Structure 1
Amino acid sequence: MTASGTSLQRADGSAPRILVVDDEQMLTDLLSMALRMEGWDVQSAASGFEALQAARDFAPDAMVLDIMMPDLDGMSVLQRLRHSGNNVPVLFLTAKDAVGDRVAGLTAGGDDYVTKPFSLEEVVARLRGLMRRAGTAQSAEAEPILRVGDLSLNEDSHEVERAGREIELTATEFELLRYLMRNQRRVVSKAQILDRVWNYDFGGRSSVVELYISYLRKKIDQGFEPLIHTVRGVGYMIKAAQ
C-alpha cells in the first residue's frame, strides 16, 4: 500500500514512470523521494535539453516540469515534445504569482500546474489525476476509494457514503470534498481551495469557500460526529473523529 492509499500501475502491471525536471537539485531530490514512496519509477533532469533526452529514453507516463530553467524553459520543452508527437501529461511548476505562466502553459498544451511553494501531497494527487485521465496508468485496486473515518468517496464512480448512507453531491461539492480528503489531517487554506477547486486566485472570494463548506457540512456531518473542522485564521481540515 502506498502513502496515498491507492496504488497505480501501467497496463503491463509495472510502476508508473515519472520524469521530474527542475534545475534546483534540492527540490528535485525532494520530489523524487516523495514519488518513489508512491512506488513509482522516477528519473530526474536538471535542464530542458536533458528533459527532452530523458523523455525519449525513459518514456515517462507523466512529467513534472519547471517553467523557469536556464537553458531551455519549460514552455519550449513542452512545445518540442508536442511537436514530436509526445503527448505525455505535463504538470507545470510555476512561481506563486506567475498567473501569465499558468495561462500560457495550459494554452500551450500543459495539463495542469502547481504553484511554488507546494505540498508534496498535492503534486502526487495532481499526477494521479493526470495519469488516470490520460490512461497512462490505472488503479491497481478494483476501486480508487478515499476514506476518512466512516466517510468514503469513490473517485471513479463519484459515489459518496457515510456510515453506509449514500450522499448526493453537486460536481463542485464533490471536488471540494475530494480535495479535503486527499489532504486529510492537513489544514488547507481558502486560497488553496479556490486555486484547486475553482481554478482561480484568491482575492476577496473567501465567501464562496465558506458557502460550500457549509453545504458540505449539512450533507456530510449533519447527524454525525463532525469530520470537517475550521482552523481559525488558517483554513479547513478533514479528519476522523477521535
Structure 2
Amino acid sequence: MTKILLVEDQPTAAAYLAQGLNEEGMVVDVAHTGPDGLHQLLTVDYDLAILDVMLPVLDGWAILETARRARRTTPVLFLSARDQVEDRVRGLELGAEDYLVKPFAFSELLARVRVILRRNDRGAAAHEPTTFELADLSLDLLRHRATRNGERLDLTPKEFALLSLLIRRAGEVQSRTILADQVWDMNFESETNVVEVAIRRLRTKLDDPYPVKLLHTVRGVGYVLEARD
C-alpha cells in the first residue's frame, strides 16, 4: 500500500488533503512543523513526501536539503503559494519531483501524485482501459457512449463523467468529497447537495428502467457502482 508523508502547517488543509488521499487507498502520515516532518522523513520509508515550502521553524527547502544529505531518496512534491519561476526552479534543482502552486484542486494534486508514483514504479499501470463493462452496463470513454442491455443511456456530460468515475472504481465506495472534487472540481462543503442531485438524476436513467440496480448508496460513506446478488 502506498505510504505518503504530508507536511503542512495549516490543519484544515492538511486534514482535507489527507482525507482525500486516504479515500484513494493511500496511507498518510501528517506532520505540521518542519522539524516533525524532517524526523518522519529520516526515520520512516515513504513512497512520496508532500512538503509545504513555508513551514514554521524549518521550511520545505531545508527539509529536502537535509534529507538528501542524509541519502534519503524519497520522491518529493512541493506545495507552495510562491509562484515565482525561481522558486519552482529552486525546488526542482534541490531534487524535488514536482512543484504545485497553491491554490490547486485536489484532482490536480492526485494526478501529480500518481505520475510520480508511476515514475518510481510504485503506482498503478500507466495506461488505463477505455472501455468498461459491469453486468449489462457498457461504457466507452472514447466514443462517450454508455448502454444498458444494449440500450443507449442519454447522459449529460456531468452524468457521464460521474458514471465513468464510478465504473473505473467499481466495487469501491466513493465519498462525496472525491466525487465533488473530481467531477465538479470543487471542494466539498456539507451544505452543497450537487452530488446527491446528480446521483439521483443518474440513477433515474441508469437503474430505474431496469430490474437489476447497479448504483448503491452506502449510508454515511458515499456511493458505489456494483452488481449485487
* TM-score normalised over the length of structure 2: 0.57
1:102 matched residue in structure 2? 88
Opposite residue 141 of structure 2, the aligned amino acid is L
Contact 1:94 1:101 in 2 (8 A): no
Question: Aligned equivalents of 1:116 and 1:131: distance in 2?
Answer: 21
The total of aligned residue pairs comes to 146
Deviation at residue 49 of structure 1 after TM alignment: 1.0
Identical positions, percent: 35
- The CA deviation string for residues 116-173 of structure 1, in whole angstroms up to 9 with x for no partner, is 11111111111111111022x132xx77416485235xxxxxxxx988xxxxxxxxxx
CA contact (8 A) 2:46 2:74 kept: yes
Cα distance in 2 between the residues matched to 1:25 and 1:134 = 29
Residue 89 of structure 1 contacts residue 130 of structure 1 at CA under 8 Å; is this kept in 2?
yes
Alpha-carbon offset, residue 100 of structure 1:
2.2
In structure 2, the CA distance between the partners of 1:83 and 1:51, relative to structure 1 (3 Å rule), is same
Rate the CA distance shift 1:119–1:146 in 2: closer, same or farther, 3 A: farther
| Higher mean C-alpha deviation, range 48-57 or range 123-132 | 48-57
The alpha carbon displacement at 1:58 in A equals: 2.8
Helix, strand or coil for the counterpart of 1:138?
coil
Question: Which of 21, 26, 35 is residue 7 of structure 2 equivalent to?
Answer: 21
Which TM-score applies when normalising by structure 1? 0.54
Work out which of the residue numbers 128, 146, 153 in structure 2 matches 1:145.
Answer: 128
Q: Is the 8 A contact 2:107 2:182 kept in 1?
A: no
Quote how far apart the aligned CAs of 1:97 are.
2.9
Q: Distance in 2 between matches of 1:113 and 1:130?
A: 11
Task: For residues 24-65 of structure 1, give each alpha carbon's deviation from its aligned partner in whole angstroms, at most 9, with x where no partner exists.
Answer: 111111110000001111101111111111113331100110
1:79 aligns with 2:55: no
The structure whose Rg is larger is 2
**Conserved in 1, the CA contact under 8 Å of 2:51 and 2:78?**
yes
Greater than 4 Å deviation, 4+ residue runs? 146-149, 181-187
Q: Give the partner amino acid of 1:138.
A: G
- Tell me, yes or no, if the aligned pair for 1:96 and 1:117 is still in contact at 8 Å: no
**Which residue of structure 2 aligns with residue 39 of structure 1?**
25
Secondary structure at 2:62's aligned position in 1?
A: helix
Residue 90 of structure 1 aligns with which residue?
A: 76
Q: CA 1:119–1:144 in 2, change beyond 3 Å: closer, same or farther?
A: same
What is the RMSD of the two structures over their aligned residues, measured on CA atoms?
2.8
Out of 110, 123, 128, the position equivalent to 2:114 is 128
